[in-house]
């Protein structure tokens, strides 16, 4: 995909990130939010992720249009989880099925591994979300669990699928 590049997100990307996420909040089941956050809230969330030292990436086309984004964040706040991250990936509905999600996820995993994280967790909304489940499986994630009927959105109960992938040495050695 020669017309695509990945880079760290900037504050200028917030309108596009907000638009992409808003679409999936309104029309999808991958996020359990029911009302799309505004740009100010999305900017606040991005700043909190960056302040935590986590990567936040965007995929852009040759014209500089943001086609998708991905970031890592703390899986849980308790100290024992400090080597585990959770990923989030959203691709513009106009840019789906072009491998953008896979490129973003692979780059995110590489950055998290370089930062010393040992496990990445995908918390996937809706067990029928074949696109996200397939994306994670193609990047080496394995099914780790199912939380049945945990969320109510769009007039139905939604499951939550948990998938994990070791980073670096995973749990085979003690962290440094």
Question: How much is the mean pLDDT over the chain?
Answer: 96
CATH 3.40.630.30 at 4-172, yes or no: yes
For the segment 24-78, what is each residue's pLDDT rounded down to a tens digit?
999 999 999 999 999 999 999 999 999 999 999 999 999 999 999 999 999 999 9
The helix/strand/coil state of 7 is: strand
Rounded CA-CA distance 175/172 in Å is 9
Rounded CA-CA distance 59/91 in Å is 9
For the segment 2-25, what is each residue's pLDDT rounded down to a tens digit?
689 999 999 999 999 999 999 999
Whole-model pTM? 0.96
Helix (H) / strand (E) element for 148: namely strand 142-153
Q: Are 146 and 153 in contact (CB under 8 A)?
A: no
Residue 149 region, left (φ>0) first, then alpha (ψ -120 to 50), else beta?
Answer: left
């Amino acid at each position: 995909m020669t017309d695509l590049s990945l880079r760290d997100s900037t504050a200028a990307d917030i309108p596009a990130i907000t638009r992409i996420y808003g679409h999936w909040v309104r029309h999808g089941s991958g996020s359990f939010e029911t009302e799309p956050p505004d740009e100010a809230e999305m900017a606040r969330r991005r700043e909190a992720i960056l302040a935590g030292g986590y990567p936040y990436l965007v995929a852009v086309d040759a014209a500089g249009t943001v086609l998708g984004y991905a970031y890592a964040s703390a899986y849980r706040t308790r100290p024992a989880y400090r080597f585990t991250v959770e990923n989030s990936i959203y691709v513009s509905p106009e840019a789906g099925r072009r491998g953008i999600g896979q490129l973003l996820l692979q780059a995110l995993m590489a950055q998290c591994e370089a930062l010393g994280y040992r496990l990445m967790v995908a918390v996937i909304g809706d067990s029928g979300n074949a696109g996200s489940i397939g994306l994670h499986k193609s990047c080496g994630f394995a099914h780790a669990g199912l939380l049945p009927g945990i969320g109510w959105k769009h007039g139905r109960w939604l499951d939550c699928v948990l998938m994990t992938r070791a980073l670096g040495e995973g749990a085979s050695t003690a962290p440094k």
